[in-house]
């Protein structure tokens, strides 16, 4: 449950509401949501005197449905959350692009990739230093050396970096080098990692588990937010289905549904969602048409040499075409949105 206070509620009035719960041994947390104070109530099955609280003059309304009373729910912040990475805003009006190789492989590769990304006007580069791989014998990333190379690429080109953290114990290390921490599909329900990432105060890119329901996905974001970190970018990266022509099935239905259910920005990763480079352009455009706040794609200066996910890496040429088409699409979309709706 959450109690939404009136805008001008003073600290005494907030405390009065908290006291009602405290006397019943129910924990509460106060959040300052723009100007409106919100009290989150951690009641499980305990009785809550709803009418008594509703009648208090400083209380605006109560939200009692479990799902709507989550910190990640749209009701918590109807205007939406903007995630800030330096001066880049994700979740604001214009969609953003994130691009880069699957993994950091060596200095030359990541510097070339950063240059490709920068040339296209993209300000956030991806690149894994700690790689979750199905086989323990595959290339599993350069670890700390990879993080150092990402920092070097940022210093040379000015692009910011997002990279995956696999383990709660590595959060301080990765947070030291990265601008955004990625939590990958395989770790979406690693609650210890989610909590550690939440405490890091860095923006978090949270990928949907490959068989996670939407509720499970949002609950994982709730773990991060409950640590006091609302800088969360959700990422749809495809779910596992019976199809045999693509690596995963990109669930684009989820984009408008997340927009209804949560205030957090949602981006789409068509690279892992399809596993095939020729599907990245159409599915990027489809993601933006569905209302995504951005797309994240894999590009490699020499895909034939890539140590992971080579089949889905865009070539530099395809990448340039993609960026151009996306930019054209965004321009068209902005004009389209100014025309009256059809229904
Ligand atoms: C990645 O983006 O580097 C990655 C490993 O993706 P996912 O967690 O979605 O499989
Ligand atoms: Mn990859």
Ligand nearest to the CA of 101: 2
Residue 86 has a CB neighbour count (10 Å cut-off) of 10
Nearest CA to ligand 1 atom 4: 184
Q: Which atom of ligand 1 is nearest to the CA of 132?
A: 5
Q: Is the model's pLDDT at 209 over the cut of 90?
A: yes
pLDDT band for position 45 (cuts 50, 70, 90)? confident
Each residue of 257-307: pLDDT tens digit?
Answer: 999 999 999 999 999 999 999 999 999 999 999 999 999 999 999 999 999
Taking a C-beta distance cutoff of 8 angstroms, is the pair 255, 292 a contact?
yes
pLDDT in tens, 94-122: 999 999 999 999 999 999 999 999 999 99
Mean predicted confidence (pLDDT) in 31-58: 88
Q: Tell me what percent of the chain is helix, strand and coil, each rounded to the nearest 5.
A: 40, 20, 40
- The predicted structure's pLDDT at residue 340: 79
- Residue 43 sits at φ, ψ, to 5 deg, of -95, 135
Find tokens 């003059």 and name the residue: 57
pLDDT grade for 129, boundaries at 50, 70 and 90: very high
For the chain, give the mean pLDDT: 95
272 lines ligand 1 (CB under 6 A): yes
Q: Which ligand is nearest to the CA of 180?
A: 1
């Amino acid at each position: 449950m959450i109690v939404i206070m009136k805008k001008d509620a003073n600290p005494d009035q907030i405390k009065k509401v908290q006291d009602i719960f405290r006397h019943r041994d129910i924990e509460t947390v106060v959040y300052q949501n723009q100007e409106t104070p919100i009290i989150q109530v951690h009641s499980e099955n305990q009785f809550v005197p709803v009418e008594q609280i509703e009648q208090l003059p400083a209380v605006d309304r109560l939200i009692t449905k479990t799902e709507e009373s989550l910190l990640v729910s749209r009701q918590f912040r109807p205007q939406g959350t903007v995630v800030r990475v330096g001066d880049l805003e994700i979740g604001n009006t214009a969609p953003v692009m994130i691009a880069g190789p699957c993994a950091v492989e060596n200095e030359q590769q990541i510097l070339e990739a950063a240059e490709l990304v920068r040339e296209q006007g993209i300000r956030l580069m991806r690149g894994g230093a700690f790689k979750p791989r199905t086989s323990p014998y595959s290339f599993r990333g350069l670890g700390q050396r990879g993080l150092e190379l990402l920092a070097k690429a940022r210093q040379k080109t000015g692009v910011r970096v997002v990279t995956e953290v696999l383990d709660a114990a590595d959060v301080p290390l990765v947070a030291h080098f990265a601008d955004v921490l990625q939590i990958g599909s395989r770790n979406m329900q690693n609650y210890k990692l989610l909590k550690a990432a939440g405490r890091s105060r860095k923006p978090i890119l949270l990928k949907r588990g490959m068989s996670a329901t939407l509720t499970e996905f949002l609950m994982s974001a709730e773990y991060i937010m409950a640590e006091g970190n609302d800088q969360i970018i959700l990422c749809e990266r495809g779910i596992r289905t019976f199809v045999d022509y693509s690596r995963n099935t990109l669930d684009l239905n989820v984009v408008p549904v997340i927009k209804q259910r949560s205030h957090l920005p949602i981006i789409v990763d068509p690279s892992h969602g399809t596993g095939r480079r020729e599907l990245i352009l159409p599915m990027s455009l489809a993601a933006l048409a569905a209302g995504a706040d951005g797309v994240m794609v894999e590009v490699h200066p020499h895909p034939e040499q890539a140590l992971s996910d080579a089949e889905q890496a865009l070539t530099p040429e395809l990448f340039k075409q993609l960026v151009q088409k996306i930019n054209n699409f965004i321009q068209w979309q902005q004009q389209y949105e100014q025309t009256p709706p059809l229904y």
